[in-house]
Amino acid sequence: MRKNSLRNIAIIAHVDHGKTTLVDALLKQSGTFRDNQKVEERIMDSMDLEKERGITILAKNTVVHYKDVKINILDTPGHSDFGGEVERSLNMVDGVLLLVDSSEGPLPQTRFVLKKALDKNLPVILVINKIDRQDARINDVVQEVYDLFIDLDANDKQIDFKIIYSNAKAGVAHKDLEDGSQDLRPLFDTILEEIPGPEYEENEVTQFLITNLDYDNYVGQIAIGRLANGTLELNKGYYLSGLEQDRKNVRVSVIYTFEGLSKKQVEKAEAGDILAVAGLTNINIGDSLTDLDNPKPLPRIVVDEPTISMLFYVNDSPFAGREGKFLTTRHIKERLDKEMLKNVSIQIKPTNRADCYEVCGRGELQMAVLIETMRREGFEFAVSKPKVIVKHEDGVTLEPVEKISIDVPEEFVGVVTEKLSSRKGVMTHLMNHGGGRVNIEFKIPSRGLIGFRSQFLTITKGSGIMNSLLEGYMPWAGAIPQRTSGALIADRSGRVTAYAAYGMEDRGDLMVEVGADVYAGMVIGERNKSTDMSFNITKEKKLTNMRASSSDATIVLRAPRRLSLDQLIEFIAEDELVEITPVSLRLRKFELDPHKRAKEAREESNY
């Protein structure tokens, strides 16, 4: 049977194609807010980092009502590092809205999310968004989407999708570009017509599949999923089918349904709806809650494995404890364990050191988001350079490989190809649309992309666009050159002086300001040669009666190079760490003592 009073849909797209903006417009036009209520832009992006970066990080659920039908809408992330959120969201819905930018067309993440939707045989409504762009090429983009469907082996029914043209920012949608629509009613009507209500079996036992996890300080771990069959009631005994063991007579203490942007507590939930339940402990993605007397667990869903890892160290620099509130092993371990409760694509592993944990995730951006979140909460720690996680099958070492799509002006094609080739990249596709820009696709080991993004912006003078997507695994490609420049290192503690900084200007680019505190072993700049160099950045000018006291005032220094957290993670070498505090970001050598560093370098060269 189908529940016609309910629809479950997900909005999928590449990053920055307008998913969250479209959800804003749907909420406003469905009467979710009062007429006099002040509403922010991109309401669904609830994290500060989501608002700052302009991307969705966590999949979120909201509800709108239209013509007496409740529509559950899942706003999914568009960046490949958070692709696991998209995959799990598709398990809870009966259809998808595929958003595509009217100028950029389908990009790598579009292909990834669409393939997942087609594999699950979900009906698709294509929404061509941002039709007001001056460089919009609507007909070409529609044709590119048709080509993408054919390329992904879609069947005839899937290719026969409905098309909506929208300007999400203005809150307008059209079935036909000339139909004169002034609101989103054509989109609402198409959702009700094309996407069926959830299917369920009457008189079937309770079947609730845990698809996502959250954490609340008051009710503890929260399981989010869709109730496939039966009903779910408070304080009734159920059977929990887990990954390692099954548990009998478990009870849920709170049941939430979604209403607008908030959750609403209910005593009982019925089949087809998307729910959040609390009261269950030690649960995992893929666990099923089912009937106690006649258990029928649903098939498990599998979460994609992490592809990169970083080491999180307790900060042991001379400046440790100056700026952070939480800096001990216990604090860091508790925070990482808490992250695992709600972020299923993060894994924490112990190491052979008591003050170090290995954190595994899906990409550099996901790691940077976790680090920045902890930093804002008052944590102080140090992190290593990201490393890829390899697999071993039949005696062969396999490493993750990514497909990258690059859009650059014609004059930069040569230098981009040269740089990627040196990192074991192989060109698979090149297309020149004739407008002065070229689309190129490469297949490249994930290792080759670590530290490349900032270099890419430099060599394309900020005009290049690069998107990546995990393609699978391939045999180990061999050594890949990483950072070719050395580091400028402080050889003693003190404060940076203008006199010493001026003397170092021809040796490289400094990353610290005059007057900043430094310590021995701290990286204070990038050298213009391939080897490291230690020097005294705190050196004062010798004062004599032969010089005027104002002679230092004529020194003009270049502005220091300030790197963001993402850039620092890409920049560091194997023997360096990024020191993270709520106030500062510093680079340092793993071994602060210069004599021990020299000894290790000799031993490594002899080896």
Domain spans of the chain, in order of start: 6-194, 207-291, 391-475, 487-606
Take residue 349 and report the two structure tokens written for it: 């592993």
The C-alpha atoms of residue 437 and residue 439 are separated, in whole angstroms, by 7
Which residue type occupies 60? Answer: K
Distances (CA, A) of 558 to 261, 338, 498, 502: 49, 43, 11, 9
Task: Please tell me the CATH superfamily of domain 6-194, with its number.
Answer: P-loop containing nucleotide triphosphate hydrolases (3.40.50.300)
Whole-number pLDDT of residue 204: 83
Please report the pLDDT score of residue 31 as a whole number: 58
Residue 14 near residue 106 (C-beta atoms within 8 A):
yes
**Whose structure tokens read 């000799």?**
602
Report pLDDT for 54.
47
606 backbone dihedrals φ, ψ, rounded to 5°: -70, -35
Q: Which of 63, 60, 140 has the alpha carbon at shortest distance from 100?
A: 140
Q: Which residue has the tokens 């997900």?
A: 10
- What is the C-alpha separation between 368 and 55, in angstroms, rounded? 13
Domain 391-475 maps to which CATH number in 3.90.580.10, 1.10.260.40, 3.90.1150.10, 3.30.70.240?
3.30.70.240
Mean pLDDT per block of 10 residues along the chain (607 residues) reads 82 71 76 47 46 49 82 69 64 86 78 79 87 83 87 84 86 83 85 85 84 79 84 84 80 83 81 84 82 84 79 90 88 87 80 89 82 89 89 87 84 88 87 77 86 79 76 84 82 88 85 89 88 87 64 71 84 88 90 84 72
Instruction: Specify the CATH superfamily of domain 487-606.
Output: bipa protein (2.40.50.250)
pLDDT confidence of residue 276: 86
CA distance linking residue 348 with residue 333, whole number of Å: 9
Contacts 24+ apart (CB under 8 A), 156-163: 158/118, 158/121, 158/123, 158/124, 161/123, 161/124, 161/125, 161/126, 162/125, 162/126, 162/190, 162/193, 162/194, 163/125, 163/126, 163/127, 163/128
Question: What's domain 207-291's architecture?
Answer: Beta Barrel (2.40)
pLDDT at res. 559:
83
Compute CA distances 340 → 96, 212, 283, 349, whole Å.
28, 12, 11, 11
CA distances from 406 to 103, 373, 374, 467 (A): 15, 29, 32, 7
> If we measure between CA atoms, which residue out of 240, 244, 243 comes closest to residue 252?
240
6-194 and 487-606 have identical folds? no
Q: How many of the other CB atoms lie within 10 Å of CB of 194?
A: 17
pLDDT of res. 404: 83
Terminal C-alpha separation, the chain: 70
Comparing CA positions, the residue from 581, 98, 83, 116 lying closest to residue 365 is: 83
Closest CA to 563 of 417, 457, 420: 457
The tokens of 339 are what? 């992250």
Q: What is the pLDDT, as a whole number, of residue 56?
A: 46
Residues 6+ apart with CB under 8 A from 537: 488, 490, 494, 496, 497, 500, 501, 504, 512, 518, 524
Which pLDDT value is given to residue 381?
92
Report in angstroms the alpha-carbon separations of 387 from 71, 399, 433: 42, 11, 36
Tokens of 416: 């981009």
pLDDT at 383: 92
For 596, half-sphere exposure in the C-beta direction (CA atoms, 13 angstrom radius) is: 8
